[in-house]
Amino acid sequence: MSFTFFDMNNLQVTSNSERIELKNEGGYVYLMIEADKENNWLYYKWRGFLLMEELKKGYNKILEVLESQKLQRALADHANIVGPWNEANEWLVNEWTPRANKLGLKYLAINTAGDLFSNISLELFLINNKNSYYTTQVFDTLEEAKSWLRKVS
């Protein structure tokens, strides 16, 4: 069963029991979140050029799913991000990371983007994210990231 609703920011969210898709006002899916029950981790995939509002909404939704599914591992797919997102780094370090720590996130595997500016944003986040309790590893392929997450379970 699938349903669609709109939040206060008019960003459309489509959900079913396994997958959540966040869409911008134009209907473009910029984030897909899925609790992978077989592997016992959260998988999320960003797409396109990301605005600060979309990043915050998306990362807040990621925390909601981590909490509701009681997951301690996450697989972040950045392969389809276009452009920089470093304006969100301060918020991610100061707001998101402490909440992820509190929820018990232990491992975060990140599949990098082919986009230079996105990768620079990621590198800046990792340099500044010194207070995380979770271990983060960055990979060139999704399969490498999955393999690492399986090993740390």
The pLDDT averaged over each successive group of 10 residues in the chain (153 residues) is 36 57 96 96 97 97 97 97 95 97 98 92 95 96 97 88
pLDDT of residue 114: 85
pLDDT of residue 4: 34
Let me know: does 140 contact 104? Beta carbons within 8 Å. no
Q: How far apart are CA 141 and CA 122, in angstroms?
A: 15
| Residue 11: closest CA among 35, 28, 36, 33 | 28
Q: How far apart are CA 5 and CA 12, in angstroms?
A: 6
Which pair of structure tokens corresponds to residue 80?
């389809």
Q: Which residues of 57-68 are buried (b: 16+ CB within 10 A; e: fewer)?
A: bbbebbbebbee
Domains of the chain: 3-151 (3.30.750.24)
pTM, whole model, 2 decimals? 0.86
